[in-house]
Amino acid sequence: MSLKNSEGIEIKSAIASHFNYEICERFAQTSYIKFTLIDRELSQKYFELVLKPQNVGTPREYSNDKIC
Mean predicted lDDT score pLDDT of the chain: 60
* ∠ CA 47-28-11, rounded to 5°: 140
Q: What is the mean pLDDT of residues 30-53?
A: 56
pLDDT of residue 11: 76
- Give me the percent of the chain exceeding a pLDDT of 90: 0
Domain boundaries, the chain: 5-62
The Cα 48–Cα 57 span in angstroms is 15
pLDDT of residue 13: 77
pTM: 0.30
